Amino acid sequence: EAVDALNMAIKHFPGWHVALANLGLAFQKSKQKDEALKYYQQAVQKSKGQPQVWCALGEVLESAGMIEEALEAYQQAAALAPRYDQGQLRLGMLLARKRLLDEAERHLQAALEQNATYADAAGVLGAIAARKGRIEDARLFYEQAKAIRPDNVPATASRGLAAIEAFEAGIKVNHHELTVAYEELPSIAECMYNAGLVFARANNLSMARSSFQTAVDEDPQWAEPRVWLGMISALENDPLESRRHLEEARQIDPQNAMVSESIGLSCLVLGLNSEAEKNF
């Protein structure tokens, strides 16, 4: 009946884009894709400023496997009406199918901002966030999708939450097995001190300094890392900083002759001859 009435309207008003668009909708609802496609295309040819019709045209094209043509139609809808949530949703979902994740994320977020009931958009946003390594963001989107549609959670969200749960559980098990596998381990200070030695040997003074400083922070009563900090400062022509580190080392280990010699060298270059002689 709708088709008959709309055809009568077009008979009286040839090329009327509203009637053409509704004919497309009638045929789309009755699963006649070819007829729907024909009338939607005629409608946008008569009047291009119809974002809803562009979006509907995109749906028919996408269902017919004409992906690039569907993409263009959705882009037209989004360009005409940036706040049209369906246009943003359809465009974002198709971009996600094409693995254009940055663009998909932008349009799906816009859709969700306009309409918070799009569970599928939240699920796909979660999948995109997970793909980019943003696990906490992914979890939030998955939970949002689940809350929107608890009786029919989108597959992306249910699979995503299960994957995160499996990942965290598996990692915790592995972490436990690794930590109990070794009865005696070096302290963090010892590890960082050894790392500093490796960096120093490789002449990477910046990383060496960072490693020795961490060793000092972990074990303030250990003189050796402070000695190395003093050496690195001296190599970088900073005798004042060098002397500070070495004096701290001497307070911890006053019998260390190497420390006294190095302090003497720092005093010598600073012109403090009597102090240098005393240390020597």
For 156-209, how does the pLDDT look when each residue is reduced to its tens digit (9 = 90+)? 999 999 999 998 899 888 888 887 877 788 899 999 999 999 999 999 999 999
pLDDT band (50, 70, 90) for residue 227: confident
- C-alpha of 201 from chain center: 36
The residue ranking higher by pLDDT, 35 or 265, is: 35
Percent of the chain with pLDDT over 70: 100
CA distance 229 to 220: 13
Instruction: Classify burial at 248, counting beta carbons within 10 Å of its beta carbon; exposed 0-12, middle 13-18, buried 19 or more.
Output: middle
**Do 61 and 73 meet the contact criterion of CB atoms below 8 Å apart?**
yes
CA distance 89 to 121: 7
CA distance 21 to 41: 8
Q: How far is CA 104 from CA 3, 73, 111, 160, in A?
A: 36, 15, 11, 18
CA distance 276 to 269: 9
Average pLDDT over residues 14-21: 86
CA distance 95 to 97: 5
CA distance 188 to 217: 10
In this model, does residue 266 exceed pLDDT 90? Answer: no
CA distance 274 to 89: 80
In this model, does residue 223 exceed pLDDT 80? Answer: yes
Report the chain's mean pLDDT, rounded to a whole number: 90
Average pLDDT over residues 5-20: 86
CA distance 231 to 201: 13
Determine phi and psi for 13, rounding to 5 degrees: -130, 75
In this model, does residue 270 exceed pLDDT 80? Answer: no
